[in-house]
Amino acid sequence: MDEKTKEALESLPTPCYVVSEGKIEENCRILHSLEKLGCRVLLAQKAFSCFALYPLIGKYLSGTTASGLYEARLGKEEMGKECHVYAPAYKEGDMRRLAGICDHIVFNSLLQYRKYSPVIAEANAAGGNVSIGLRINPEFSTQKSAIYDPCAPASRLGIIANALDSEFHGVLPSDIEGLHFHTLCEQDAPDLVATFGRVEKAFAPYLKQIKWLNMGGGHHITRRGYKLDLLRAFLAEVMDKYGFTVYLEPGEAVALDAGWLVSGVEDIVTNGMDILILDASAECHMPDVLEMPYRPPVVGGYEPSVKPHTYRLSSMTCLAGDVIGDYSFDSPVKVGDKIIFGDMAIYSMVKNNTFNGMPLPAIYLLKKDGTTELIRRFGYDDFKGRLS
């Protein structure tokens, strides 16, 4: 991080998230290069729902995808381009609303499809234009972490080939226009190619009948070193071979490395080592640090003992395990200093909470000219408003 950005971030009231407009645009430009191949790219709002940036993202991507009614409404209201939804199940009232706003609705089971296909037919007869898809489960794991593996044994996510075959015997009903698979998490193009190889084998007859194939998210396309050329060649080949439109719906890749969480050092205690008490919390403001788990990058922070001054970074909550990790620094940290966590745009704001009565961090934009702008501040009412 350059000095000017660091100063700008350190001057903000803490805790706060700061989203980089420039980095979002850079990521979107890379994703847009896939659109030029004829592929459509959607923002998976589950990872990043900072809608102040939807107009910018919408300049480059085809639209949004949602995990249910609320995200679908947000995408429709704030980006207004293609609106897709997939959920393991839909409530009846939600389906009626979704049929009015979505372009694609993807079902997770044959029971859900049968339940709602008449609702969609009715909406379409009344002037709607919803395209129906089914989520399939290729039963092909390419990752180790079971919590993020939709192909793990007994997964509820997607229809396995056997179930599809015994229902349809190789012929899809005419109102099913697409298939959807989502099996990756922070993965590179070879995993997608291998997964599609399995899809081609297990779901062969259906691939010839669909208008679109959605390859889900988990593609770490904007990560340095991602095999973008392989992805491009693969997509071009698949679209050429089958003639359907390919959709990708990355979440992480849109906002990868595009934000920070700035925190203030409130106290330093010593118990076998020096421990910083920050006004940001892993549990409340970066839950993936504990859930995934992972070690977030810290500006100017290194592995323990690499630099002369090592600290445990923890928080103001009373949860003993609310610890971000141990980091070393060049110079001693003092009360009042700022600690800046990196890669905090994704799976942070969408997951945060007010456990312990912790305030929600404000959200700032780092604009391309280097200045910062407050997008949203939260207060006591946001805490009290979700309780009763």
Ligand X SMILES: *Cc1c(COP(=O)(O)O)cnc(C)c1O
With residue 8 as reference, give the H or E element that holds it.
helix 3-10
DSSP one-letter string for 270-305: ESSSEEEEESS-HHHH-THHHHTT----BTT-BSTT
CB nearer to ligand X: pick between 322 and 343: 343
Q: Is 249 in the site for ligand X (CB under 6 A)?
A: yes
Is 72 an interacting residue with respect to ligand X (CB under 6 A)? Answer: no
| Separation in Å, CA 270 to CA 152, 274, 276, 388 | 43, 5, 9, 38
Instruction: Assess 158 for contact with ligand X (CB under 6 A).
Output: no
How many C-beta atoms surround the C-beta of residue 108 within 10 A? 21
To ligand X, the closest distance from the beta carbon of 181 in angstroms equals 9
Phi first, then psi: give them for residue 135, nearest 5 degrees.
Answer: -85, 130
- Which amino acid belongs to residue 370? G
Does the protein bind ligand X through residue 133 (CB under 6 A)? no
**Structure letter (DSSP) for residue 187:** B
- Does position 287 interact with ligand X (CB under 6 A)? The reply is no
Question: Least distance to ligand X from the beta carbon of 277, Å?
Answer: 31
78 near ligand X, judged by CB under 6 A: no
Please, which residues have CB within 8 angstroms of residue 387's CB and are 6 or more apart in sequence? Answer: none
Smallest separation (angstroms) from ligand X to the CB of 79: 16
Minimum Å gap between C-beta 370 and ligand X is 28
- Asked if 63 touches ligand X (CB under 6 A), the answer is no
If the CB atoms of residues 66 and 333 are measured against ligand X, the closer one turns out to be 66
Task: By CB under 6 A, name the one of 63, 75, 158, 251 that touches ligand X.
Answer: 251
Residues 40-59 that bind ligand X (CB under 6 A): 44, 46-47
On whether the CB atoms of residues 345 and 255 are closer than 8 A, the answer is yes
State the minimum distance, in angstroms, from the CB of residue 213 to ligand X.
Answer: 13
Site string for ligand X, 93-132 (x = CB under 6 A): ----------------------------------------
Distance CA 151, CA 140 (A): 6
Q: How many Cβ atoms sit within 10 Å of the Cβ of residue 303? A: 12
Among 17, 60, 86, 234, which residue interacts with ligand X (rule: CB under 6 A)? 86
Q: Is 216 in the site for ligand X (CB under 6 A)?
A: yes
What count of other Cβ atoms lies within 10 Å of the Cβ of residue 3?
7
CA distance 108 to 104: 13
Contact between 2 and 36 (Cβ < 8 Å): no
Q: Kindly write out the interface string for residues 172-211 of this chain, putting x where it contacts ligand X by CB under 6 A and - elsewhere.
A: ----------x--x--------------------------
- Binding status of residue 217 toward ligand X by CB under 6 A: yes
Q: Which is nearer to ligand X, 75 or 216 (CB)?
A: 216
List residues near ligand X by CB under 6 A: 44, 46-47, 86, 182, 185, 216-218, 249-253
